[in-house]
Amino acid sequence: MSLNSLAFKVIPKGKLARREALWFYIFISPWIIGFLVFTLYPIIASAYFSLTIYDIVRPPRWTGAGNYIELIQDKLFWQSLKVTFYYTFLAVPLTTVAALSLAQLLNQRVPFLGVFRTIYYLPSIVTGVAVALLWQWILNPEFGLVNYLLYAVFGIRGPGWFFDKAWAIPSYVLMSLWGLGAPLIIYLAALQNVPTELYEAAELDGAGPWKRFRHITIPMISPVILFNVIVGIIGSFQVFTQIYVITNGRGGPNYASLVYVLYLFQNAFRNFRMGYASAQAWILFWVIFGLTILALRVSRGHVYYESPGDNI
């Protein structure tokens, strides 16, 4: 049988490549449309609105840098930044240490290990509103569980927690420990990837548990620690739901819990100052961007990245 008698069609390479490219764009078109409509367009629009006076009802009026100049003179703007930095300063280190410590415990060989891992992870999937209502009861200064135990066991009258200016942010930091599940799982995965022969060699050299943890565990999982710290910084600057629910969107008492995103929300959806809120959003972007770059710069020389030759 000759080749001419076979019923097949040879498609030129150029035409085949164009056809594959066409189908590629057809299949990713939902993502492209979603990105253009729901991500790129809002970013460009917010950049424009940040330079205007816009209240939704009337067309935007160009004001240039007017919103940014007004923000510099806004005392509540600086208060919200101070509160957010304070929250970040407390929450990120505490969450990092707590999650890594729990991951270290859950990396041991103990009975019912899977049950313990599930118990510690489950709270992180509970919605923010439910968590806020739960902790509002736990830390209630009059009939809350914590203050009841403090008085019943130690005879101590507990603080006002969310309703006390000095204790408001520490209360929210304590509540943030409820969501340790996500970083805990990441740390646990990193710990299980540390080569066991390193621990065995160190143990033969007489290194105790603390030295093995400090000189082997920490360097080997340092990229994961850096990742969780950066994610924690970004998340702490976007904290909103719990404070909004507990303070009814006011950030009390006396603006002690007025975090940045809550003040942005007040300007955008209560005062309908969309241009002013857009300027706040862009400042928030640059603050987070700057802190991320700073964390990456500080981590140089402290984070160990395994090279391909290390396994040879």
Confidence of residue 12 (pLDDT cuts 50, 70, 90): low
Q: For 181-205, how does the pLDDT look when each residue is reduced to its tens digit (9 = 90+)?
A: 889 999 999 999 998 898 889 988 8
Q: Provide the CB-side half-sphere exposure for 45 (13 A, CA).
A: 11
Confidence of residue 167 (pLDDT cuts 50, 70, 90): very high
Helix (H, G, I), strand (E, B) or coil at 312: coil
Average pLDDT, integer, range 85-100: 96
Contact by Cβ (8 Å): 213, 64: no
Predicted local distance difference test score (pLDDT) of residue 4: 53
Give the start-to-end residue ranges of the domains of the chain: 15-62, 68-305
Residue 62 β-bridge partners: 52
**Domain 68-305 indexed as CATH 3.40.50.150:** no
Q: Distance between CA atoms of 181 and 125, rounded to whole angstroms?
A: 8
Question: What percent of the chain has pLDDT above 70?
Answer: 94
Confidence of residue 8 (pLDDT cuts 50, 70, 90): very low
